[in-house]
Amino acid sequence: MPNESAATRRSWWRRIPGIAGKCAVALFVLGLAVRLTVRDRWVVANTLYYATPWSILFVLGCLSAVWLRRRRAARPLAWVTGLVAVACAGIWFSTSWRTGPSARGAGDVRAMTWNLAHGRWGLEGLAKAAAMHEPDIALFVEADPSRIDVRAIFKSAFPEHHVFLLGGGIVLVSRWPGGDARAYQFGSEKTESRIREIDLATPWGTWTVFGCDMASNTLYQREPHFRELAERIAGCPHPVICTGDFNTPLDSLHVEKLRAGGLTEAFEAAGEGYLPTWPVPAPVLSLDQMWISKGLKPVGCVRRWNWRSDHAAVITEIGIEPAP
């Protein structure tokens, strides 16, 4: 019996490479098919779409090519798979890297957004790290560790700024005063997106900041959430900064509603460096975004990483466009 058990274990270990190879091929083919056709239009398809960005498809393609190469009958297919993997790498680099101008000191206002991962590695250290970038406006998501005086921590890190606790783990720090926040909850209790809207009295007039923490569950239809957000922004009479953790990558069909509303994503317009922001230290998805309305112009945007959070911070230099 012991010999049979050991033989069974060895048999299972020998099967693992084959199982892994077949899974890599299946994910590569399905992920590529979804990305080139329906994208994240439908529930279930969106899960596969978000799980297989171009960088992951490149890795899966390489693994698939190696596995197929070891099978004599599949060697021609291995070469095709390898070429497709190289194409995925090319698309990944062309869509994820920017060589724009340096963001430092390029604009009139420096805005920042950062998901602080609930401060599990130290909210005080994160606040101090954020303050080192000297933002005029900073929107923090998941800044809600329990039994901690969040306001005092941010006031200590930003002594010359106003601190607004907007609820839902969203904190706004601003060099200028603001009004009362308006809170919106999109979706159901299981797939709840938290949106906060607040007006700031800047030297250039009233600006409206929308702080977003969209639901992270992939098994829900994102379209209604983005549609409602776009409708609320469209009804705003002031220049808008819409920022936060959208839990939806920039190549999603659903963020097109923000573009259709006349908003510009800061990194797409003026980015420098690597686009994805999650998960640090090897990000593959551009979940953290900053959208700017007409009247404001992103003139520089960078990502900055810190080991205390699994999200990269987004720092944008904003220029003020003259009134027509």
Q: Which two tokens stand for residue 235?
A: 């009804």
pLDDT at 267: 96
C-alpha distances (whole Å) from 291 to each of 17, 201, 239, 264, 270 are 44, 19, 11, 5, 12
pLDDT at 161: 98
Q: Helix axis angle, 54-69 relative to 2-36, nearest 10°?
A: 130
Q: What is the 3-class SS of 221-247, one letter each residue?
A: CCHHHHHHHHHHHHCCCCCEEEEEECC
pLDDT at 133: 97
Give the span between the Cα atoms of 272 and 289, in whole angstroms.
14
DSSP state of 263: -
C-alpha radius of gyration, the chain, whole number: 23
pLDDT at 103: 58
What DSSP string runs through 70-112? Answer: TSGGGHHHHHHHHHHHHHHHHHHHHHHEEE----TT-SSEEEE
| Placement of tokens 């599990």 in the chain | 120
Give the span between the Cα atoms of 117 and 120, in whole angstroms.
6
pLDDT at 190: 81
pLDDT at 107: 77
pLDDT at 70: 84
Q: What is the 3-class SS of 278-322, one letter each residue?
A: ECCCCCCECCEEEEECCCEEEEEEEEECCCCCCCCEEEEEEEECC
Query: Do residues 277 and 288 touch, judged by C-beta distance below 8 A?
Result: yes
Give the span between the Cα atoms of 239 and 163, in whole angstroms.
21
Give the span between the Cα atoms of 137 and 139, in whole angstroms.
7
Q: Which helix (H) or strand (E) holds 208?
A: strand 205-213
Closest to 43 in 3D by CA, of 221, 257, 256, 224:
221
What DSSP string runs through 150-184? Answer: HHHHHHHH-TTSEEEEEETTEEEEESS-B---EEE
pLDDT at 264: 97
pLDDT at 16: 75
| Contact partners, residue 79, CB within 8 Å, separation at least 6 | 65
> Each residue's pLDDT tens digit in the chain (324 positions)?
455 565 555 555 666 777 888 899 999 999 999 999 999 999 999 999 999 999 999 999 999 999 998 887 778 899 999 999 999 999 999 999 998 766 566 679 999 999 999 999 999 999 999 999 999 999 999 998 878 899 999 999 999 999 999 999 999 999 999 999 999 998 887 889 999 999 999 999 999 999 999 999 988 999 999 999 999 999 999 999 999 999 999 999 999 999 999 999 999 999 999 999 999 999 999 999 999 999 999 999 999 999 999 999 999 999 997 765
Question: How buried is residue 314: exposed, middle or buried, by Cβ count under 10 Å (0-12/13-18/19+)?
Answer: buried
DSSP state of 271: B
Residue type at position 36: L
> What pTM, to 2 d.p., does this model score?
0.92
Q: Helix axis angle, 2-36 relative to 75-96, nearest 10°?
A: 60
Asked if omega into 224 is within 30° of 0 (cis), the reply is no
